[in-house]
Structure 1
Amino acid sequence: MTLPGQPQLHLRDQSLYLEDVPLAPLAREHGTPLFVYSEGAMLAALASYQRGFEGRDALICYAMKANANLAILKLFVNAGCGLDIVSGGELERALAAGAPPERIIFSGVGKTRAEMTRALEIGIGCFNVESEAELDVLSTVATGLGRTASVSIRVNPDVDAQTHPYISTGLKGNKFGIAHDRALDVYRHAASLPGLKVVGIDCHIGSQITQLSPYLDAMDRVLDLVNAIEDAGIPLHHIDFGGGLGIDYKGDTPPEAATLWQQLFAKLDARGYGDRRIVIEPGRSLVGNAGVCLTEVLYLKPGEAKNFAIVDAAMNDLPRPAMYEAFHQIVPLEARDGRTAATYDVVGPVCESGDWLGRDRLLDVEPGDVLAVLSAGAYCMSMASNYNSRPRAAEILVSGNAARVVRRRETIEDQLRAEQDLSQA
């Protein structure tokens, strides 16, 4: 049997496998917490986008903020993807992964002059610009280097993505993009600046979107702007629709990527833009359901109001529940006969009441058992920290029956290496 939202995860002889790799031996060999990712699941998710874009002029740029492990970046680059970055550090990771600079898109609201300089020097494909002030600074940096920056302006269409408020980005109250009613004036300003070349328009309305209507609404508003901008004499080479497609965490039913893009292209064709180059930046939908986090049960702590299963993974490993009250399925690695299940809050050892991974879960577990936290491929390791001086977990990539370590477990020596003991100075 397979589990909802996890196409490569299945039970075999009462044990949990990812592809053809049993997970329990990985936990014993490499310790916990441990992240394990399926190469097959990532490539299958990408293939759905590629089917939707078949026969079209399109560039898929993986939004690497979702999970920036070098092995995963190289997997997508080798499969033909560009990369979407939001920092100078991500730029260096993208280059280390072999991404051609012209297939790198630089997004984000707070690019520094140093980041702009480095990106211009290596010749990235496009800056997705988010404010008039950023346009002015980028113009100054580019002219100082004797370079031309290709820019796409991110427009905020004021469309409700119907998702969690912390991951909604397309409303008037969000910090992202240029207001829809200001966009034409900002494009005119951009076209007048030295060192800039306007090449596109960008829109991204949020993350974990599970319905078609927000995309369709946003596309209509963006295409209205494309028409107005080009009527003003500013040609646009590409239209960037961002990412944001959701995944199945708890019975969620987002459209398949190929289905979504068939409908979006139907609208593009109907409005006369079907031959325009399309750029998208999916992240979570490529990696989220490809990963699990393995964690050992340390203690069972019964109480009058709650029972707690205390595990060795924590909010520093899996920040999403603490940040968004996000739901992840939690299942044992191995089924046990003859035991009685109970309802537990699954919590970590960090000294915060917000350190929980799952609430009110019916589990048949004992100390020493290992649990799998599902759909942990996106915004877990990429957001992990060393809070409480906890080392970040190891990461494993599986393909078929092979498993490779793609990040070793951190040590306390790794954490201390950059710090200065003043008594030794």
Structure 2
Amino acid sequence: MSGDGDGGASVRRLADWDADRLRALAEEYGTPLYVDDLARVRANHARLAAAFPDAEVLFAVKANAGAHVLRALRDAGAGAECASAGELARALDAGFDPADVHYTAVNPPAEDLDYAVSVAAAHPALTVTAGARDTIERLDERGFSGRFCLRVHPGVGAGHSESVSTGKDAKFGVPADEAVEVLADADSRGFDVVGVHAHAGSGIANDQLDEHARVVATLANVARATATDLDLEFVDVGGGFGVPYHEDEAPLDLDAVAERTRDALDGVDATLTIEPGRYLVADAGVLLTEVNTVKRVSESVIAGADTGMTTLVRPAMYGSYHPIRSLVADDRPTEEVSVVGPVCESTDVLGEARDLPAPERGDLLAVGNAGAYGVEMASQYNSRPRPAVVALDGGESGVARRRETLADVTHAEDTADTYQEP
């Protein structure tokens, strides 16, 4: 990689990736292919930790749960924030100390809650977060008496779209005006109440710092109101720190975020906890895909690729923009090209009207900022196997997740006990 894979620059653009190396990886491992650069993951963590020197940093595992990513962040000093039993299991398998792990599920299924309570019993340093009175009752019914954090609904949201503006969504957390009462209830049940938590949303930008600060101030008010009765260890302000997906978009002013956060917590005697996900891994990943079909219709140029919404669903689900770069020689004339996938859906579009070299079959394309919520949200829709993932670390590379086969797609049916062909 060229540029700052192991440096401190606040943004890594798609143009900063070394085209020759990406072409070599595609040649060796095939396409579609996710590529994660662990040096960049570590650099992003170091920059964040420098901006928040006194904070506990927990990686939001849902952004990228690959064992290679988890181990890199564990070694860098991060903890893990887990939204499901599966993420909790993967964090523990990756070697995170349970004292550095928070389980923060929303409306957890019974099996998930059973597992979390059993883990907490075996590892009392684990912190369990709940965002509903019912969840507190369900924990109590299971005999939970461990470290407890309450998720608060601040009524204020931010993020790259309404779909991820969780701070405004009543699905998440106990209303702020009920938080003190609910914390007292958890304490009376014998829970070890250690913190409060809230989250504004995913993809917070520079122009949304007011909303972020209001969420933090809401938590600060709850912490102050409970100070005489409870000795809170931490105030968890969530993550959601955004990254620039558009080429001309400025990077997040992390120092400004940190300053606004500290100001909003003024006077609160508790450790600050943050839960970055996207910020640590998004620009550390690219998705490589090969053009297999070129179609010219009227004034439109369509490049059909071997990957689409089953591999990277964010454009179809959220209308998200991801930069696209052609890795062919740059001496071709450019034109407006729409890059589409092989799925039988009109929403199966990676990018529309992009200024790219005139496409030809066999061209290799790179899709940027694919390290967060890329492979994690990949599916087998249309019975398509999910792609391989390659991890880079300096000059080394290796398969972190093998490419699925058609046999993998049907494995759960082939191994079922019923409905087999006689």
What aligned pairs does 1:195-206 form with structure 2 within 5 A after superposition? 196-206=191-201
Per-residue deviation, 1:416: 2.1
Distance in 1 (CA, whole Å) between partners of 2:334 and 2:250 is 28
Change (3 A) 1:312 1:335: same
Change (3 A) 1:259 1:403: farther
Hey, what does 2:129 align to over in structure 1?
Answer: 128
What aligned pairs does 1:151-230 form with structure 2 within 5 A after superposition? 151-161=148-158, 163-171=160-168, 173-194=169-190, 196-211=191-206, 212-230=209-227
What aligned pairs does 1:258-297 form with structure 2 within 5 A after superposition? 258-268=255-265, 271-273=266-268, 276-297=270-291
AA of the residue aligned to 1:65:
K
Matched, 1:78 2:75: yes
Distance in 1 (CA, whole Å) between partners of 2:351 and 2:308 is 11
Hey, what does 1:359 align to over in structure 2?
Answer: 352
Checking the alignment, whether the CA contact within 8 Å between 1:6 and 1:375 is kept in structure 2 is no
Hey, what does 1:91 align to over in structure 2?
Answer: 88
Hey, what does 2:254 align to over in structure 1?
Answer: 257
Hey, what does 2:297 align to over in structure 1?
Answer: 303
Deviation string 1:124-154 (CA, Å, 9 cap, x unpaired) is: 52111110000011112125xxxx2211111
State the SS of the aligned residue for 1:219: helix
Per-residue deviation, 1:202: 0.4
Q: Give 4+ residue runs of structure 1 displaced > 6 Å after superposition.
A: 1-5
Distance in 2 (CA, whole Å) between partners of 1:372 and 1:214 is 34
Q: 1:235 aligns with which of 228, 231, 234?
A: 231
Distance in 2 (CA, whole Å) between partners of 1:199 and 1:345 is 51
AA of the residue aligned to 1:401:
G
Hey, what does 1:35 align to over in structure 2?
Answer: 34
Checking the alignment, whether the CA contact within 8 Å between 1:9 and 1:17 is kept in structure 2 is no
Checking the alignment, whether the CA contact within 8 Å between 2:156 and 2:214 is kept in structure 1 is yes
AA of the residue aligned to 1:197:
D
Distance in 2 (CA, whole Å) between partners of 1:256 and 1:42 is 18
AA of the residue aligned to 2:273:
V
State the SS of the aligned residue for 1:109: coil
Distance in 1 (CA, whole Å) between partners of 2:251 and 2:133 is 34
Hey, what does 2:64 align to over in structure 1?
Answer: 67
Per-residue deviation, 1:358: 0.4
Distance in 2 (CA, whole Å) between partners of 1:252 and 1:178 is 35
State the SS of the aligned residue for 1:7: coil
Per-residue deviation, 1:89: 1.0
Q: 2:12 aligns with which of 7, 16, 30?
A: 7
RMSD between superposed Cα atoms in Å: 2.1
Per-residue deviation, 1:258: 4.2
Change (3 A) 1:9 1:314: closer
State the SS of the aligned residue for 1:46: helix
Per-residue deviation, 1:193: 1.4
Hey, what does 2:102 align to over in structure 1?
Answer: 105
Deviation string 1:284-319 (CA, Å, 9 cap, x unpaired) is: 000011110000011111112632110001101000
Sequence identity (%): 35
Hey, what does 1:141 align to over in structure 2?
Answer: 142
Per-residue deviation, 1:2: 6.2
Mark the runs of 5 or more structure 1 residues left unpaired by the alignment.
none
Change (3 A) 1:8 1:374: closer
TM-score, normalization by structure 1: 0.90
Between 153-162 and 365-374, report the one with greater CA deviation: 153-162
Matched, 1:371 2:384: no
Distance in 1 (CA, whole Å) between partners of 2:146 and 2:284 is 36
Deviation string 1:369-414 (CA, Å, 9 cap, x unpaired) is: 0000000000010000111111111111112222221111111122
Distance in 2 (CA, whole Å) between partners of 1:292 and 1:325 is 18
Per-residue deviation, 1:343: 1.2
Distance in 2 (CA, whole Å) between partners of 1:191 and 1:203 is 19
Change (3 A) 1:10 1:353: closer
Between 258-267 and 279-288, report the one with greater CA deviation: 258-267
Distance in 1 (CA, whole Å) between partners of 2:10 and 2:353 is 20
Deviation string 1:52-86 (CA, Å, 9 cap, x unpaired) is: 232x2x32110010000001000001111111111
AA of the residue aligned to 1:189:
D
Distance in 2 (CA, whole Å) between partners of 1:116 and 1:66 is 20
Per-residue deviation, 1:259: 4.1
Per-residue deviation, 1:5: 8.1
Change (3 A) 1:118 1:306: farther
Distance in 2 (CA, whole Å) between partners of 1:398 and 1:149 is 39
AA of the residue aligned to 1:238:
F
Distance in 2 (CA, whole Å) between partners of 1:47 and 1:256 is 15
Hey, what does 1:45 align to over in structure 2?
Answer: 44
Per-residue deviation, 1:323: 0.5
Per-residue deviation, 1:8: 7.4
Between 214-223 and 388-397, report the one with greater CA deviation: 214-223
Hey, what does 1:23 align to over in structure 2?
Answer: 22
Checking the alignment, whether the CA contact within 8 Å between 1:8 and 1:38 is kept in structure 2 is no
